[in-house]
Amino acid sequence: MKETSFRRPMAEINVTPLVDVVLVLLIIFMVTAPFLQGGFEIDLPKVAARGLDVREGLIVTVRADQKIAVGNSVVPFDKLEDALARAGAARRPVFLKADQRVPYGMIVELISRLRRSGVASLGIVTEPPARPQSP
């Protein structure tokens, strides 16, 4: 009698390729994450205050040269209301990041325009003061 050979099902799963793919994806995300947080270089005022979670809101930035950005796009001051409406500023919190060299009058005018655009929740972003280094 002839014996027939049957293939037995494998009881083991090789997870090495899965681990390799996961590690490559992890490295890609770790390298690209800092680039996703782009923005504008501004020198925020140093104030002792509790930090805000700005990830869920819309960020309006005013640079030292008084250029205004809604999100990541620079907009002229006279087109600010249109840009805020397109970004949905009335439906979510808005955070104002202004360089400390921007004149106070411009900040007040900007806050007034934000309110006229329907912004109900407005936060002003600052940095904590530098701690004195102990010897």
Locate the domains of the chain by residue range: 54-124
Residue with the bigger pLDDT between 10 and 95: it is: 95
The predicted pLDDT at position 2 comes to: 59
Question: Is pLDDT above 60 for 134?
Answer: no
Angle between helix axes 80-87 and 104-116 (nearest 10 degrees) is: 50
pLDDT tens per residue across span 67-103: 999 888 899 988 888 888 888 888 888 889 888 888 9
Strand 122-124 to 94-98 pairing: parallel
Please give the span between the terminal C-alpha atoms of the chain, in angstroms, as a whole number: 91
pLDDT mean over 2-20: 76
Class of domain 54-124: alpha beta
Asked if 56 and 106 count as a contact pair (C-beta separation under 8 A), the reply is no
Single pTM value for the model: 0.58
